[in-house]
Structure 1
């Protein structure tokens, strides 16, 4: 089964995918605490970022610098994993919180066997180690390769021994946004033939990216559209009504509630309506327990 379980004949066929952006817990982004909470809420798609430490370890982290979200300073690439493993993400009061530690990509990949990772490769050095880890664990169907750099994405995908899903870089996406309305979608589809989706913001500066026309053009080209980062329930409903294929959020509870209203929750396919109802009840209970332990 490929990464996008909402494609035929996947268990989520025809349904919208919900992504927990960096774990959807801004106070401790890209940490096991955030990821465990999202999974407990019912998410099976996690959007993450990876960077390479000085020792070659692949670390789940967004920024080039440690200063914004950790109690450390300097650039991540200048630190070894031994040094990084001692840092904590979030307020100083979490210094002793094991769930607020930085995470190695391999540890996250192996934490659950039914969770899919949307992986943004933040540096060129991450390519080889990312491929090695995915190949070692035969996790080709559980990862999607993302990068603003099309060349980096292509270089990564070409190294795998089995197909791996990927999203277009910003250059290819911009062509769809700006040239698509000129009737060049068919010609552009060839450029994006090796990707499965476009992952875009609602707007980029003054330009509204996600429109009904944009969605129609992408769907005709066989591409899904995943939108980031959406935290407002009204906007979530508007985009879902428009026909987007996926939403990424920093507000895990809000998106889960919207998806539940639409009978799209939890995020895994159930064999029967009774199974679905039972899964939904379990997700609510699990979310309550997760909120009691290390919540925001």
Structure 2
């Protein structure tokens, strides 16, 4: 599996993959500045979100509404890329900060040839443009498609000319967590969900998801487990020792330091 470089054989065989969640820079999440900083720190896996602008452009952005993190207002899907390109993410008034600009998915994908992207498709309209971009740039081995919506993920895989790795959506993940102890993990991963990894929090409400038994069942079924979002260094070490396959963080420096302490950094 070319995307998962920690599989056997692979250049990162046996290592935990380090993902910069939205660029791991909360002050300017999902911006070129955040992604560039993460890559400079040694990250080669970036977790991103994409949404569709009014003109059909695929924009790297998490929220449906612009207000929380930008100096704009309203719904992203109602703005053209020309309008969105003028906005800045982060502290109000930083109009001259080009690193705080929004970025198009295609521009981000083509900035580096050795960076992998974990792409969460946030709207149904993103499917066609996402497939077009991946196909045009033959980026199947550098992109993993994720979505809380399992049907959306399946729509992508049906349209691709080459296989791309995927992670489970909300319904599939719930099935793995709840039915896995009944011995159905392998059947679900192969025939029902058709996914390559699960991306989950340590716990969901009162339910602790990341346990030795859960990891053991996933690995027996050939599934990697990536955990989000972990910012505490002690917790990072604990999860790595437990056997997770990937960690997503909003604190790039903390995860880089943990990986450096384990002599597996930078992750190239």
Shift of 1:8: 1.8
- The 2-side partners of 1:193 and 1:207 are apart by 22
- The 2-side partners of 1:180 and 1:194 are apart by 15
| Structure 2 match to 1:123 | 123
Shift of 1:195: 1.2
| Structure 1 match to 2:189 | 189
Shift of 1:192: 5.2
**Whose helix proportion is higher, 1 or 2?**
1
Deviations 1:11-61 (A, max 9, x none): 111111000000000000000000000000000000000000000000000
| Structure 2 match to 1:99 | 99
Ranges in structure 2 where 5+ consecutive residues have no aligned partner: none
| Mapped contact 1:167–1:197 kept (Cα < 8 A) | yes
- The 1-side partners of 2:172 and 2:191 are apart by 7
Deviations 1:101-147 (A, max 9, x none): 00000000000000000000000000000000011011110000000
- The 1-side partners of 2:231 and 2:25 are apart by 12
- The 2-side partners of 1:7 and 1:20 are apart by 20
- The 2-side partners of 1:191 and 1:28 are apart by 40
| Mapped contact 2:172–2:193 kept (Cα < 8 A) | no
Shift of 1:158: 1.3
| Structure 1 match to 2:31 | 31
- The 2-side partners of 1:31 and 1:192 are apart by 35
Is 2:204 the partner of 1:200?
Answer: no
Shift of 1:193: 5.8
> Any residues of structure 2 matched to 1:183-262 within 5 Å, and which?
183-191=183-191, 194-262=194-262
Shift of 1:182: 2.6
- The 1-side partners of 2:193 and 2:71 are apart by 43
| Mapped contact 1:172–1:191 kept (Cα < 8 A) | no
SS in 2 for 1:59: strand
Is 2:31 the partner of 1:49?
Answer: no
Runs (4+) of structure 1 exceeding 4 A deviation are none
> Any residues of structure 2 matched to 1:136-155 within 5 Å, and which?
136-155=136-155
| Mapped contact 1:168–1:192 kept (Cα < 8 A) | no
SS in 1 for 2:227: strand
| Structure 2 match to 1:67 | 67
Q: 1:178 to 1:106 in 2, by over 3 A?
A: same
Q: 1:112 to 1:96 in 2, by over 3 A?
A: same
SS in 2 for 1:145: strand
Indicate the RMSD between aligned Cα atoms, in angstroms.
1.0
